[in-house]
Amino acid sequence: MPKRSLLLQGNEAVSEGAIAAGVRLFSGYPITPATEIAEYMAQRMPEVGGTFLQMEDEIAGITAALGASCGGVKAMTASSGPGLDLKAESIGYAVCAEIPCLIVNVQRTGPSVGSVTPSQQDVMQAKWGPHSDNLVITLSPASIKECFWLAIRGVNLSEKYRVPVILLSDSFLAHMTERIELPDPEEIPIVTRPRPTVPPGKYRTYDADINGVPPLANVGDGYSIRLVGNMHNKAGDYSRNPRDFDFLIHRLHNKILTNLQDVQTYEEVDIDGADYVIVAYGIVSRAAKAAIRLAKEQGMKVGLFRPITIWPFPHARVMEIGKRIKGFLVAEMNLGQIIGEVERATRREVPVAGLNRVDGLQINPYDILAKLKEMM
């Protein structure tokens, strides 16, 4: 049977990917440039036996998704930077209580309400938006195809590690249309959260070793469940014991950091033999690839490193690359948010230059080429 080929916008592809991964509840609040996700899900959720909830605000949007997830339903919400501000407390709760959820952030320009033009200004928000030491997996698509597949991957990682996953899109990608070939359902990897293997009487909500992901029982299935945002012990009881604090916070990090080979993904283009490497992600990486072609025509040896998993950032691989090149150029549509991670990874032993744009317009290949020439 021939595969189904569709023309989809980025927001539509994200929605279809989430559905393909098993999401059956969307709850959210309209906000440009993410509103099309809610509109699309309002139509598609009933078609696949799911539920669409139009909520009264951004806080309700994420808390409804977390509530559904506690009941065993794969759930998601979507917004933009101002909405993520309001969702931050609940994201932190999801980290501490270990509730799976996919959160889409279609980025826009500027602080406060800003402008609905594209940007990459929420990269650090994805990492540090919730307070305290938290670790949230963040993915950055660069095409409509990746919007689809990274939505699937985001749901799977969220389920596997019981952690909220943020998908960082932008207004360009959200509203761009490309053809995508949808896979057959059996070709799609599906991951579900770890489930209890003990009877209800022996179940403890957070019973895992220092590197582990505890099994999650559904609310209503007869298990005593304590999904709490307080510091807690393995049973989920509120705790003031410093040992419980230390164990819990380290475990929340370790369950991801000890599985970086599974969590982290990135793309490399012409890295071998390159003198200079562009670091770009999301929509800017498309301009970077065009810049590499222009550079080759002029005899320049240039490669691309594109982090697909933004957080945790692939420091180890950037360090390896930095040992054999003359410099990095970090191109991003902000005032410099990933460049600090590149400098930290390389320990400033190789030059790192930035190319930044915050006027709501795309960095283009000629901007990148001109900056490369300045570095040489």
| Domain residue limits, the chain | 4-187, 265-375
pLDDT confidence of residue 348: 86
- Residue type, position 321, single letter: I
Residue of 182, 157, 159 lying closest to 167 (CA atoms): 157
Two domains, one topology: 4-187 and 265-375? yes
DSSP string, 129-170: SSSSS---EEE---SHHHHHHHHHHHHHHHHHHT-EEEEEEE
Q: Are 17 and 44 in contact (CB under 8 A)?
A: no
Q: Are 239 and 246 in contact (CB under 8 A)?
A: no
Q: Which residue has the tokens 């998704």?
A: 65
Measured CA to CA, the distance from residue 52 to residue 39 in angstroms comes to 10
Treating both helix axes as pointing N-terminal to C-terminal, what angle do 10-20 and 144-161 enclose, rounded to 10 degrees?
Answer: 40
Which of these CATH numbers, 3.40.190.10, 3.50.50.60, 3.40.50.970, 3.30.499.10, describes 4-187? 3.40.50.970
Measured CA to CA, the distance from residue 338 to residue 4 in angstroms comes to 37
Q: How many helices (H) and strands (E) does the chain have?
A: 13, 14
Measured CA to CA, the distance from residue 119 to residue 106 in angstroms comes to 9
Q: Are 254 and 210 in contact (CB under 8 A)?
A: yes
Q: Which residues are 6's β-sheet partners?
A: 180
Q: What token pair was written down for 126? A: 């994805």
> What is the architecture, at CATH level 2, of domain 265-375?
3-Layer(aba) Sandwich (3.40)
pLDDT confidence of residue 4: 81
pTM of the model: 0.96
Residue of 314, 355, 329, 335 lying closest to 121 (CA atoms): 335
pLDDT confidence of residue 336: 97
Measured CA to CA, the distance from residue 16 to residue 157 in angstroms comes to 17
pLDDT confidence of residue 2: 56
Per-residue pLDDT tens listing for the chain (376 residues): 456 888 999 999 999 999 999 999 999 999 999 999 999 999 999 999 999 999 999 999 999 999 999 999 999 999 999 999 999 999 999 999 999 999 999 999 999 999 999 999 999 999 999 999 989 999 999 999 999 999 999 999 999 999 999 999 999 999 999 999 999 989 999 999 999 999 999 999 999 999 999 999 999 999 999 999 999 999 999 999 999 999 999 999 999 999 999 999 999 999 999 999 999 999 999 999 999 999 999 999 999 999 999 999 999 999 999 999 999 999 999 999 999 999 999 998 999 999 999 999 999 999 999 999 999 8
Q: Are 127 and 340 in contact (CB under 8 A)?
A: no
Residue 366 three-state SS: helix
Burial of 259 (0-12, 13-18, 19+ CB in 10 A): middle
C-alpha radius of gyration, the chain, whole number: 21
Residue of 169, 136, 148, 173 lying closest to 263 (CA atoms): 136
Burial of 311 (0-12, 13-18, 19+ CB in 10 A): buried
Q: Are 294 and 306 in contact (CB under 8 A)?
A: no
Q: What token pair was written down for 40? A: 């699309």
C-alpha atoms less than 13 angstroms from C-alpha of 136 in its C-beta half-sphere? 33
